[in-house]
Chains A and B, each alone.
Chain A
């Protein structure tokens, strides 16, 4: 028979006992401490299992054999048991992290540590208000003692501020206890709540003081400077338990005592919580000291969870799930991060580059960061989903906005940190071992356990449906020690098998996109055979991305769709981050993706609210009164992925800085995820208008403008890969334009453009990537005359640009022909003019691509250049084959597409007659065109071949300068600033307006952060002033009727 009192008694006994054995912290003392905490862990585990299995009922135990208020009541139920398990588990882990500290500082330091946990246990268990005050005081004093584990003046100052601030809190708390006692004659929650609510809640100063004390324990913005100084200056191993265990206990106390405070304080609680969440993350942006950033994040998360407690709109079950998930994930992940910081000893984010060659550390850092950010499959993902869905059901748009904006900012600084850790180049003095210590590993294992626990939640069906891909991903994480070629084979085989199994279940667009994602992925993966060694991290990331992409196709519910969408984003972010200089570009890709994902999340939330919580994807057709808003929110998410102007600025950098075999994947394959989303959305929701604006007309214009700006930007680019990246923006503009027409021909056009873009961008990025690998530069003015050195690449690029620019006979022409027909059909003449103009611009950059790289004079340093590597050429040859095949017999691909499109748009379908298609306005015969073009080409080719015999051969340097004096080396190359006259005429169209806008937004946010951060001066007195002003503010807000 166990008793809750053991949670207090065990640590107390251990501290008394070891205190008697002298100052030395040896093996014996360590064993006693470990046993005490292990005991509390075991007992809480026992209670959890007993409550879950139902062998015990929740009960309240009183001390000293009498009844409250003359004794203290401890409550034991499932929430208490779970919280205690979490807290004491962290305590046990933290003990090993602090081992060396205890050795240096002696047994008394360990005693302080154990007393802190004793106090936290008491805070969780006690039902008595005054007793709560006692435990709060013990925990405060113990924490101030632990701050001194690190000997520095800053720690002393932080500790003194801490004591001052907590002293003021304790005054509030003790006053509230006595005032509530006077009013109700009771001190324990249960008896207080027996009081007549009219007496209890009417204008009670006690409730106000209690509310303040509870809130201050969670360090609300801006009255939290004292806690942040502790986070920053204390040893990270102390911050780990302060954040992980301390916040958990504080939140539990809030949850427990909130009924006494009364409902009128719930709304202020939400506001305080959300303001804290939002501003903490804004402030963290400006920081580069990791421990302080984590401190901001801790108070922010505490604010978010506190706000959840205040949300009466949540059902009890929902609230329990959301709060428990967020609390557990926060405690474990934050503990893990602080312990990593403790082990490495790195203070600033730049220093974290020290782990960049330690895959296990990078894995752990990423694991904890993405758990905190609420990525699938962590419980925090489902908590966020449930929270947003629940809020979407009522008029709480501003709460959703605050939560999502705060999350986005949180992602911004966390991902920046992660980026520096993976790609930074700072030299650090502190060299660390390859294997992480146990206490940094265990939280990750526990988080994995939490994921499995989700099988008991209402989201269990997702894990049931997703176990094959999840296993696939996990497998690649575990097998990452194998050579790259073996993993490449596994990956290709895995994708192939998955396609084979999925094939019978896929229809219509899902089949088309499965072909692009899976078969396309397999072809592109062939290039991976070129890489030797292990390529650590590449295959797990690819597995994440491909699983995410396929998951979009198999998802039957909005939550599954979003689940996979996030995993896809995550995987692609890791892939892009692998490029040599891709650090800032990967960050901007990630942030735009997250922004898009969050608007999508709100859209899905509103959708579920309009359908009584139904999550099926089919509910897209019934959006209720907010359908236009839902449409816009979801569209924003997808348009971010397809890089539509003005959400496009992440693409050029992200696509061009990626590795040679990653660029084709993220461009050719990944962008199609956005296209698939748009198709799903448009097919599902149908015509939409907001007020008098037809949203599809707006999208059509957006597509046309994107096409123009993308293409124009491409022609002025010196960098071959950036040129291709801008070209992608333009191409996806066409796709959007065609989709927005919402008729048969438009959608057929979009399908052709999407397929075509996949084929040619894969081909071109591979070909150019191969060239870049050989000539070691991406600037076209440093290349030239490579046709003789790299003839196969030349052919690739030639086929690619013919298909891209839409001249006969290749696939691009089909798209163009269809798009003219569709434009005329829709009557979109103005937009059509822009699209046609953009098409002309395509010729310019296509010409530049082939002319400046392969023709002209060979550079001196490129005389030894060889053809692109064999494995880079293999996928190109396959792709060329596919392009030629489809161009010759387009009906093979297009006729089935047309057939199923008639289900959506029965009118104006093409009439097929063998390879000949007939529309309202004319006909097109791919086979004939191929034949005619082939004959003409052959004729010209042979004619040139014939007359070429008469040509005079001259040496390369047999030239004279024609009067110009080049001032810079690149000016001697004709390819530099190739389209200067056009730039003079049209350059204003591609002025970086969007880039400027986003940069200003970012700078503005940082400036706000810098301004507010001045509040936190390190002066204990100003912190107390913040507290008192905060109290006054809350008082007047509530008095004012909020």
Chain B
């Protein structure tokens, strides 16, 4: 299980970076960035996973049963939430840049943007 998510995460990062480096369209670059971010999130979650355990949401039965044997490591879960929020903000910000670049130059092609001074 962990191996699958770790591999998927790594592949997503590589895929995202590849898109980031090779695509000419700003939106595709941003999608690449999002993909890479998702891969990172997957990796974080999978590192915190412990076999046969459940989500770290405490309720009465859980507390009674002793949470330290029942739940996965809660810290990566907390981290990934933060990371997702930040990733969201950055993606939104990148999109705003893309929009304004489009309004200014009338193109979303990175190579054309570079040529125009």
Residues of A in contact with B (beta carbons under 8 Å apart): 69-70, 130, 134, 137, 141, 144-145, 153-154, 156-157, 159-160, 163-164, 167-168, 170-171, 174-175, 177-179, 181-182, 187, 1017-1021, 1024-1025, 1028
Contact A178 to B113, CB < 8 A, known contacts A137-B86, A156-B101: no
* Cβ-neighbour of A130 out of B82, B89, B104 (below 8 A): B82
Residues of B within 8 A of A157 (CB): 101, 113-114
Residues of B within 8 A of A174 (CB): 40, 44, 83
| Distance in angstroms between the alpha carbons of A181 and B97 in the assembled complex | 34
Contact in complex: A1018, B47 (CB < 8 Å): no
Contact in complex: A177, B79 (CB < 8 Å): yes
| Distance in angstroms between the alpha carbons of A1008 and B65 in the assembled complex | 70
Contact in complex: A163, B114 (CB < 8 Å): no
Residues of A within 8 A of B114 (CB): 157, 1017-1019
Contact in complex: B90, A141 (CB < 8 Å): yes
**B13, B22, B40 interface centre (most CB from chain A within 10 Å):** B40
Contact in complex: B98, A130 (CB < 8 Å): no
Contact in complex: B75, A69 (CB < 8 Å): yes
Contact in complex: A167, B90 (CB < 8 Å): yes
Query: In the complex, what's the smallest C-beta–C-beta distance from B11 to chain A, in angstroms?
Result: 14
Residues of A within 8 A of B44 (CB): 174, 178
Residues of B within 8 A of A182 (CB): 47
Contact A163 to B17, CB < 8 A, known contacts A130-B79, A171-B40: no
Closest to A152 in B: B104
Contact A70 to B75, CB < 8 A, known contacts A160-B94, A163-B97: yes
B63 at the interface (CB under 8 A from A): no
Residues of B within 8 A of A1025 (CB): 21
Residues of B in contact with A (beta carbons under 8 Å apart): 13, 17, 20-22, 26, 29, 33, 36-37, 40, 43-44, 47, 75-76, 79, 82-83, 86, 89-90, 93-94, 97-98, 100-101, 104-105, 110-111, 113-114, 116-117
Contact in complex: B21, A163 (CB < 8 Å): no
Can you list 10 A-B pairs, Cβ within 8 angstroms, ordered by A?
A137-B89, A160-B94, A167-B20, A171-B36, A174-B83, A181-B75, A181-B76, A182-B47, A1021-B20, A1021-B22
Closest to A141 in B: B93
Closest to A163 in B: B94
Query: In the complex, what's the smallest C-beta–C-beta distance from B109 to chain A, in angstroms?
Result: 12
* Cβ-neighbour of A178 out of B47, B89, B100, B117 (below 8 A): B47
Query: In the complex, what's the smallest C-beta–C-beta distance from A734 to chain B, in angstroms?
Result: 58
Contact in complex: A156, B21 (CB < 8 Å): no
| Distance in angstroms between the alpha carbons of A713 and B7 in the assembled complex | 76
Residues of B within 8 A of A156 (CB): 97, 100-101, 104
Residues of B within 8 A of A179 (CB): 47
Query: In the complex, what's the smallest C-beta–C-beta distance from A71 to chain B, in angstroms?
Result: 11
* Cβ-neighbour of B101 out of A144, A160, A175 (below 8 A): A160
* Cβ-neighbour of A1020 out of B37, B40, B105, B110 (below 8 A): B110
Residues of A within 8 A of B33 (CB): 164, 167
Query: In the complex, what's the smallest C-beta–C-beta distance from B26 to chain A, in angstroms?
Result: 7
Residues of A within 8 A of B36 (CB): 167, 171
| Distance in angstroms between the alpha carbons of A163 and B110 in the assembled complex | 14
Query: In the complex, what's the smallest C-beta–C-beta distance from B63 to chain A, in angstroms?
Result: 17
| Distance in angstroms between the alpha carbons of A1018 and B100 in the assembled complex | 17
Residues of A within 8 A of B37 (CB): 167, 171
Residues of A within 8 A of B76 (CB): 178, 181
Query: In the complex, what's the smallest C-beta–C-beta distance from A452 to chain B, in angstroms?
Result: 43
Residues of B within 8 A of A167 (CB): 20, 33, 36-37, 90, 94
Contact in complex: A168, B20 (CB < 8 Å): yes
Residues of B within 8 A of A187 (CB): 75
Contact in complex: B82, A134 (CB < 8 Å): yes
Closest to B10 in A: A175
Contact in complex: B100, A1021 (CB < 8 Å): no
**B26, B36, B75, B116 interface centre (most CB from chain A within 10 Å):** B75
Query: In the complex, what's the smallest C-beta–C-beta distance from A169 to chain B, in angstroms?
Result: 12
Residues of B within 8 A of A181 (CB): 47, 75-76
Query: In the complex, what's the smallest C-beta–C-beta distance from B106 to chain A, in angstroms?
Result: 11
Closest to A138 in B: B86
Contact A164 to B20, CB < 8 A, known contacts A144-B93, A178-B44: yes
| Distance in angstroms between the alpha carbons of A163 and B104 in the assembled complex | 18
| Distance in angstroms between the alpha carbons of A678 and B19 in the assembled complex | 64
| Distance in angstroms between the alpha carbons of A927 and B88 in the assembled complex | 96
Closest to B97 in A: A160
Contact in complex: B13, A171 (CB < 8 Å): yes
Contact in complex: B79, A178 (CB < 8 Å): yes
| Distance in angstroms between the alpha carbons of A182 and B100 in the assembled complex | 41
Residues of B within 8 A of A130 (CB): 79, 82
| Distance in angstroms between the alpha carbons of A156 and B116 in the assembled complex | 12
Closest to B46 in A: A178
* Besides A156-B100, A164-B29, 17 new A-B residue pairs in contact (Cβ under 8 A), listed by A number: A130-B82, A137-B90, A144-B97, A153-B104, A153-B105, A160-B26, A167-B37, A168-B20, A171-B37, A171-B40, A178-B43, A178-B44, A179-B47, A181-B47, A187-B75, A1019-B111, A1021-B20
| Distance in angstroms between the alpha carbons of A1024 and B75 in the assembled complex | 31
Query: In the complex, what's the smallest C-beta–C-beta distance from A1003 to chain B, in angstroms?
Result: 28
| Distance in angstroms between the alpha carbons of A163 and B94 in the assembled complex | 7
Closest to A137 in B: B86
| Distance in angstroms between the alpha carbons of A156 and B99 in the assembled complex | 10
Contact in complex: A175, B100 (CB < 8 Å): no
Residues of A within 8 A of B100 (CB): 156
Contact A1021 to B93, CB < 8 A, known contacts A157-B113, A174-B40: no
Query: In the complex, what's the smallest C-beta–C-beta distance from A1037 to chain B, in angstroms?
Result: 21
Q: Which 10 A-B pairs have the closest CB atoms?
A: A160-B97, A1019-B114, A153-B104, A178-B44, A137-B86, A182-B47, A156-B101, A167-B33, A163-B94, A178-B47
Residues of A within 8 A of B110 (CB): 1019-1021
Closest to B36 in A: A171
Residues of A within 8 A of B47 (CB): 178-179, 181-182
| Distance in angstroms between the alpha carbons of A356 and B1 in the assembled complex | 71
Contact in complex: B75, A163 (CB < 8 Å): no
| Distance in angstroms between the alpha carbons of A159 and B98 in the assembled complex | 10
Residues of A within 8 A of B86 (CB): 134, 137, 170
Contact A153 to B116, CB < 8 A, known contacts A144-B93, A160-B97, A178-B43: yes
Query: In the complex, what's the smallest C-beta–C-beta distance from A871 to chain B, in angstroms?
Result: 56
Contact in complex: A154, B117 (CB < 8 Å): yes
Query: In the complex, what's the smallest C-beta–C-beta distance from B73 to chain A, in angstroms?
Result: 9
Residues of A within 8 A of B40 (CB): 171, 174-175
Closest to A167 in B: B33
Query: In the complex, what's the smallest C-beta–C-beta distance from B21 to chain A, in angstroms?
Result: 6
| Distance in angstroms between the alpha carbons of A179 and B43 in the assembled complex | 10
Query: In the complex, what's the smallest C-beta–C-beta distance from A586 to chain B, in angstroms?
Result: 35
Contact A175 to B43, CB < 8 A, known contacts A153-B104, A160-B94, A1021-B110: yes
| Distance in angstroms between the alpha carbons of A883 and B30 in the assembled complex | 82
Query: In the complex, what's the smallest C-beta–C-beta distance from B52 to chain A, in angstroms?
Result: 19
Query: In the complex, what's the smallest C-beta–C-beta distance from B115 to chain A, in angstroms?
Result: 10
Query: In the complex, what's the smallest C-beta–C-beta distance from A1021 to chain B, in angstroms?
Result: 6
| Distance in angstroms between the alpha carbons of A716 and B75 in the assembled complex | 83
